[in-house]
Structure 1
Amino acid sequence: MRSPFPGMDPYLEHPALWPDVHNRLIAAIADTLAPLVAPRYYVGLERRTYLLSLDDLVFVGRPDVAVLTGSARVAEPQAPAYEVAAVSAPSPLWVELPTEDEVSDNYLEIRLADGGKVITVLELLSPANKLHERGREIYESKRSAIFGSRTNLIEIDLMRAGEPMPLRGKPVHSDYRILISRSWQRPRAQLYHFNLRAPIPAITVPLQRGEDEPMLDLNAVLHDLYARARYDLMLDYNQPPVPPLNDADAAWAHELIANAQRA
């Protein structure tokens, strides 16, 4: 089954599923771009790591640790049933220690094949770098460093949750966004803003100034991935998506899903 939605499928945004979608989609984008920029450039899959607390890991989509923070905690010992002397050693309290674990995000770098110079960075935003305060600070610092360099940036935001990444001027309201910042055009940049009911727009990928820019059909990449990965087996379209839709979009989505299921 293919996704019933013309563009982004909001059911893929569920925090428990998004890490899988993120990693597969960024790899699929790399596989799509590699032959388009070869042989002058190659596309590298890079990784950034965050140290987050257990509660934060649940927040950014690591459901496996929910067991550790929920019902599976070690039970506190019960008082003995027999009587003890009036003077006794105090019983110890059971406490929890701050614990951290690693969360990694993948992103792409388009590099010159004859030296490895980074020409373009492609970021697909995740809960770790959009929704989590410390992760967002780390990402925004890197983002600012790119804006002060000669490296291009493509920033893809396919999550409705959270505040959009900062821009100058009047805020732009939309469900999803793609920012293309060419180093030679700064501080100006292109922003593709689109909503749930629209296909994801195709974009051109900046390389070096004056060079032809290959076209990336992100909508086709995502929908091909949906079919290959069989995400339809993971999604319950009888339930509302997470995060929820507004009333108008929820009614539209319900009709869309019903039509797809009848087909």
Structure 2
Amino acid sequence: MPTPFPGMDPYLERPNLWHGVHNRLIAAIADELGPLLRPRYFVAVEERSYLADPLAIGFTAVPDVGVVGPYSASLWQRGSGQPGVAASVLEPEIVELPMHEHIRETYLEIQEMDGDSNTELWMKSNDESVKVVTLLEILSPWNKASREGRVQYERKRQEVFNSYTNLVEIDLLRAGQRFVQTPQETYHYTILVSPSAMRPRAQFYPFTVRQAIPTFHLPLQPDDEWPIVDLNTILHELYDRAAYDLRINYQNEPTPPFAEEDAQWLNSFLREAELR
């Protein structure tokens, strides 16, 4: 079953869905681009990992300390040291402590397989040198809502801006602070395309929940034809294949909720689609 929305489905932003959506969307984009870019380029799905506080970035909704169940006092009971006198023991309960989670996140590298260019060499952990022509990122709650994650991502972002590597940055999350600020923010989602030859200028695509996701050209080397990325179709086909409709109840409000005007539009839209 396809998503009822013309573009981004805001219900996919739900914390317990987004991590899977993020990684599956990266893989789907790679599958779409791979045949188009070969043999000059290889589309690599790369992974970074980090320890994160799940409450700080909204991955889970568990209390700071939650009571799990009773514990046997006999394991803790000790004698008072006086014969015939029973020690007074307060029976403890077992609690669940907040723990950092190991988060794995994927992104795309468009790697040039031959030719000599100004593109910088990025060294891999296996000591293999590759020319990273373009980096494609889909922003996550770790990038936008966590202070530590935002600092790390901004540092990485600035390294790319100071290099010959192109950057595509896709933001399909309404929560968190935006990386690109504009005077009138009447949009919900954004795509930033930063070809290295254009800097400090970049192509910026803002759009709302009421619109289809705009297509954009994937920047490569200047002498190549830049393919068009139809992210709207890629996401909608992924929604259908993954059967996300089974995990979404459109009777509920999305997370985060919309402002009043958009909330009214959402309610009318879902009623017309007979989902409310």
Does the TM-score normalized on the shorter chain lie above 0.5? Answer: yes
How far apart, in 1, do the equivalents of 2:6 and 2:143 lie? 26
Q: Secondary structure at the match of 2:34?
A: helix
Q: TM-score, normalised by structure 1?
A: 0.85
How far apart, in 1, do the equivalents of 2:176 and 2:268 lie? 27
Distance 1:118 1:235, change over 3 A: same
Residue correspondence of structure 1 range 5-154 to structure 2 within 5 A: 5-53=5-53, 55-56=55-56, 59-62=57-60, 66=62, 69-72=65-68, 99-114=99-114, 116-154=130-168
Kindly provide the amino acid, as one letter, of the partner of residue 198 in structure 2. Answer: Q
Residue correspondence of structure 1 range 212-223 to structure 2 within 5 A: 212-223=225-236
Distance 1:170 1:36, change over 3 A: same
> What is the Cα deviation at residue 55 of structure 1?
3.8
Indicate conservation of the 8 Å contact 1:51/1:100, yes or no: yes
> What is the Cα deviation at residue 258 of structure 1?
2.2
> What is the Cα deviation at residue 229 of structure 1?
0.6
How far apart, in 2, do the equivalents of 1:76 and 1:134 lie? 40
After superposition, the C-alpha distances for 1:181-236 in whole angstroms (9 at most, x for unaligned) are 01111100011011111110001000011321000000000101111111110000
Q: TM-score, normalised by structure 2?
A: 0.81
- Structure number with greater Rg is 2
Residue correspondence of structure 1 range 193-204 to structure 2 within 5 A: 193-204=206-217
> What is the Cα deviation at residue 252 of structure 1?
1.6
> What is the Cα deviation at residue 116 of structure 1?
2.7
Q: Secondary structure at the match of 1:110?
A: strand
How far apart, in 2, do the equivalents of 1:166 and 1:76 lie? 55
Indicate conservation of the 8 Å contact 1:54/1:69, yes or no: no
Distance 1:100 1:61, change over 3 A: closer
Distance 1:151 1:226, change over 3 A: same
Distance 1:6 1:75, change over 3 A: farther
After superposition, the C-alpha distances for 1:72-119 in whole angstroms (9 at most, x for unaligned) are 377696998x9998xx9999x999877433111110000012373100
Aligned-residue sequence identity (percent) comes to 45
Residue correspondence of structure 1 range 184-199 to structure 2 within 5 A: 184-199=197-212
The reply to whether residue 247 of structure 1 matches residue 260 of structure 2 is yes
Kindly provide the amino acid, as one letter, of the partner of residue 234 in structure 1. Answer: R
Distance 1:248 1:3, change over 3 A: same
How far apart, in 1, do the equivalents of 2:172 and 2:54 lie? 25
Partner of 1:256: 269
- Aligned residue pairs total 255
Distance 1:132 1:248, change over 3 A: same
Distance 1:54 1:196, change over 3 A: closer
Distance 1:252 1:171, change over 3 A: closer
Larger RCO (CA within 8 A; separation ≥ 6): 1
Distance 1:77 1:161, change over 3 A: farther
- Structure 2 gap ranges (5+): 115-128
Distance 1:117 1:259, change over 3 A: same
- Structure 1 gap ranges (5+): none
Two-structure CA RMSD over aligned residues (Å) = 3.2
After superposition, the C-alpha distances for 1:24-64 in whole angstroms (9 at most, x for unaligned) are 111101111111111110100011111123544xx33146x
Indicate conservation of the 8 Å contact 1:7/1:219, yes or no: yes
